[in-house]
Chain A
Amino acid sequence: MALLDVSDLSVVFQRRGEPPFTAVDGVSFSVEPGQTVGLVGESGCGKSVTSLAIMGLLPRRGAVVTGSVRFEGAELLSLSARQMRDRRGRDLGMVFQDPLSSLNPVIAIGLQVTEVLERHRGMPRRQAMVEAADLLDKVGIPDPRRRLDEYPHQLSGGMRQRALIAMALACRPRLLIADEPTTALDVTIQAQILALLAELVRDTGTALIMITHDLGVVAGLCDEVNVLYGGRVVERARRHELFRRPRHPYTHGLLASIPRLDAPRGERLVPIRGSVADNIPWDHGCAFAPRCPNALGTCVEVTPQMDEEDGRLLRCHNPVQENQEVPA
């Protein structure tokens, strides 16, 4: 049985006086215990909203979540707020994008870590402090005892993210969701944090959902990758398959737009034309069609369905062929 089974998850934001906005449109994927799954897409494709919906962190009013999120067989979407609260931090952890603003600026690091331990593991403060120092040590923070008394602004960006990872993993959740955990960090720190996540996930057997716009992050970490566009999964494949042979023109475009050290000198990067549309027109053809170099006549008329072909899922009428040069 899958650890997490998301099926047909949709999130519609409704505001008075405005037309409803569909941020996530029938996303399905599953995560096996210990597996690392990537959700990849550019801003506005619904990847963060998907993760917030899984965590039950979307506002109760204004956001309509439908579909199913099953965690170890239990339906999370039907849990009460209190039941969901008991699971967050204990069964599911989450790490956010900006490590500085994700920490409470007026509370010392130690108290922020012990808060989770006291909340979910019922530890007394003194014991929790010892455990907190141990946790900080595990995520590679030097001199953890001293750091316990320090405040977030005294830590470097990488250190803060390590502390947040320590807090998210404090109660040994079986699933960790990392929402762009390295975007706010500089490149060398990014690599360290990714290595840390990979190591922790391997050692503790925690499943990881890695949310990112950066395929480079996915490349080193994920077993399976879901590429999202306009609130839907457009391609899903195992990591190596996806990088070796991207089939969806969007995936292909994402890969082509990454600078590579091994590319010939002077070769130009290939951007994806245009940007994500505000409204998602999946009901009239393919949402990516206006930006797609491969678009056919049917693409704007018939909405493509998810098709399975040799172990991958693909939502495209005219996928990229092997050795095809895609015009930019």
Chain B
Amino acid sequence: MSGSVSRSGSRPPTLGGRKERLDALAATAADGPGDAGVSLAASAWRRLRRNPVFLLGAAIIVLFVVVALLSPWLAAHDPTARLLEGQVSRARNEIPAAQEGFPLGGDQVGRDLLSRLLVGSQQTLMVGVFATVIGLAGGLLLGTVAGALGGWVDSLVMRVVDVMLSIPSLLLAFSIGALFPSPSQFTVILAVATVQIPIFARLLRGSMLAQRGSDHVLAARALGVRPRAIVFRHMLPNSLGPVIVQATLVLAVAIIDAAALSFLGLGNPDDSIPEWGQMLGGAQNVIDSHPNLAFWPAGCIIIVALGFTLVGESLRDALDPKNRR
């Protein structure tokens, strides 16, 4: 029986030549381009590059970000200047139509609609990014604490999360926004971010718990790795996949929620800084006679939210470890 345990070095000579040839063959196969050191992110990127859904979403996002950053220069007119005020007549319900230099016409008080849309993307980008980052940070903190410590800490955190999740998200955001004495863009960000915290926390906690019982965490413990390193090196990085995906999806939700809060009047009351939700809110009085005033900001919100959703969905597929090769 001990014969079955043969050292690789002591093979019969007849096999030696063949083994070497096989090894050489295997080595050439393994030496393919980009084979060495492919991390999870790199292999995900390789698959994303060929995914048309991802490319479309990414194109929308890139366009949106570029427009937001360059909007002060892209906008033909000052978005706060009432250049077409002369064509506005409240009595006759007249709002400036499209004309030379003003391809989308003016708004209710005679400001250039296109310039307001372009500059308004800044606010939307800012609210979306900050709300997501703050929500992500809070969710990571709570989720890591709950998933790493477990026990009563986990129970406590998760009950708080349950309570927050039991309130409809827009209602919760609305209530948080109303806590502040004066509405501003900052309160919108905070309100939208707070709504996202429990979602991130629960997601991370779930995958942390799954990691806690995993073989590689047990193996790391068997090597005497300290608990802090177990959590931050072995559990957290392996739990982040679903959270990253959720973050891109939350960007879309945050943009919609922020627009909704502005629409409902919880945003910045000063309408000199254009914001899509606020523009939409302002257009509702004239939506019968001038639907274009609502159409453009609403369309922008939808397309940008769609872009983030497409990227989020394709990221989810790409980061799924079951798809890895």
CB distance from A224 to the nearest CB of B (A): 16
* A107–B222 CA distance with the chains assembled, in angstroms: 17
Whether A105 pairs with B40 at a CB distance below 8 angstroms is yes
Which B-chain residue is minimally distant from A258 (CB atoms)?
Answer: B1
* A90–B321 CA distance with the chains assembled, in angstroms: 32
Which A-chain residue is minimally distant from B151 (CB atoms)?
Answer: A61
Stretch at the interface among B68-76, B110-118, B212-220: B212-220
Stretch at the interface among A7-15, A19-27, A146-154, A304-312: A146-154
Interface range for A? 35 or more
Task: Flag whether B90 is at the interface (Cβ < 8 A).
Answer: no
Report which of A88, A108, A140 forms a contact with B221, defined as CB distance below 8 A: A88
Known: A192-B8, A195-B6, A195-B7. A220 touches B1 (CB 8 A): yes
Please name all residues of chain B whose beta carbon is closer than 8 Å to the beta carbon of A140 when the two chains form the complex: 8
Which B-chain residue is minimally distant from A197 (CB atoms)?
Answer: B5
Residues of chain B at interface, number, CB under 8 A: 32
Known: A104-B238, A219-B2. A116 touches B223 (CB 8 A): yes
Task: Flag whether B229 is at the interface (Cβ < 8 A).
Answer: yes
Known: A104-B216, A104-B233, A106-B237. A96 touches B222 (CB 8 A): yes
Please name all residues of chain A whose beta carbon is closer than 8 Å to the beta carbon of B40 when the two chains form the complex: 105-106, 151
303-325 of chain B: CB within 8 A of chain A: 321, 324
Task: Flag whether A273 is at the interface (Cβ < 8 A).
Answer: no
Please name all residues of chain A whose beta carbon is closer than 8 Å to the beta carbon of B221 when the two chains form the complex: 57, 85, 88
Chain A, interface SS category: helix
Whether B218 pairs with A96 at a CB distance below 8 angstroms is yes
Task: Flag whether B226 is at the interface (Cβ < 8 A).
Answer: yes
Please name all residues of chain B whose beta carbon is closer than 8 Å to the beta carbon of A89 when the two chains form the complex: 222-225
Task: Flag whether A134 is at the interface (Cβ < 8 A).
Answer: no
154-168 of chain A: CB within 8 A of chain B: 154, 164, 167-168
Task: Flag whether B25 is at the interface (Cβ < 8 A).
Answer: no
195-217 of chain B: CB within 8 A of chain A: 214-216
CB distance from A177 to the nearest CB of B (A): 8
* A150–B34 CA distance with the chains assembled, in angstroms: 11
Whether B215 pairs with A85 at a CB distance below 8 angstroms is no
Report which of A55, A105, A115, A119 forms a contact with B321, defined as CB distance below 8 A: A105
CB distance from B249 to the nearest CB of A (A): 22
* A194–B2 CA distance with the chains assembled, in angstroms: 11
Known: A105-B216, A115-B223, A153-B324. A216 touches B4 (CB 8 A): yes
Please name all residues of chain B whose beta carbon is closer than 8 Å to the beta carbon of A70 when the two chains form the complex: none
Q: Could you mark each residue 75-102 of chain A with 1 if its beta carbon is under 8 Å from any beta carbon of chain B, else 0?
A: 0000000000111111001101010011
Task: Flag whether A243 is at the interface (Cβ < 8 A).
Answer: yes
Task: Flag whether B163 is at the interface (Cβ < 8 A).
Answer: no
Whether A220 pairs with B5 at a CB distance below 8 angstroms is yes
Known: A88-B224, A103-B219. A149 touches B233 (CB 8 A): no
Known: A98-B215, A104-B234, A115-B229. A220 touches B2 (CB 8 A): yes
* A193–B214 CA distance with the chains assembled, in angstroms: 23
Please name all residues of chain A whose beta carbon is closer than 8 Å to the beta carbon of B237 when the two chains form the complex: 104, 106-107
Please name all residues of chain B whose beta carbon is closer than 8 Å to the beta carbon of A85 when the two chains form the complex: 221, 224, 226
Whether A107 pairs with B8 at a CB distance below 8 angstroms is no
Known: A146-B36, A151-B39. A115 touches B6 (CB 8 A): no
Please name all residues of chain B whose beta carbon is closer than 8 Å to the beta carbon of A221 when the two chains form the complex: 5
Which A-chain residue is minimally distant from B1 (CB atoms)?
Answer: A219
Please name all residues of chain B whose beta carbon is closer than 8 Å to the beta carbon of A149 when the two chains form the complex: 36-37
* A167–B233 CA distance with the chains assembled, in angstroms: 16
* A221–B229 CA distance with the chains assembled, in angstroms: 35
Task: Flag whether B35 is at the interface (Cβ < 8 A).
Answer: yes
* A125–B216 CA distance with the chains assembled, in angstroms: 21
Please name all residues of chain A whose beta carbon is closer than 8 Å to the beta carbon of B220 when the two chains form the complex: 104, 115
* A108–B234 CA distance with the chains assembled, in angstroms: 12
Contacts from A to B (Cβ < 8 Å): 55, 57, 85-90, 93-94, 96, 98, 101-108, 115-116, 119-120, 140, 146, 149-151, 153-154, 164, 167-168, 191-192, 194-195, 198-199, 216, 219-221, 243
Considering the complex of A and B, which 7 residue pairs feature the smallest CB-CB distances, nearest first? Answer: A89-B224, A220-B5, A89-B223, A88-B224, A219-B1, A101-B215, A149-B37
Q: Could you name 15 residue pairs across A and B whose Cβ atoms are closer than 8 Å?
A: A85-B226, A88-B223, A93-B223, A94-B219, A101-B214, A104-B234, A104-B237, A106-B39, A107-B234, A108-B39, A116-B224, A140-B8, A146-B36, A150-B37, A195-B6
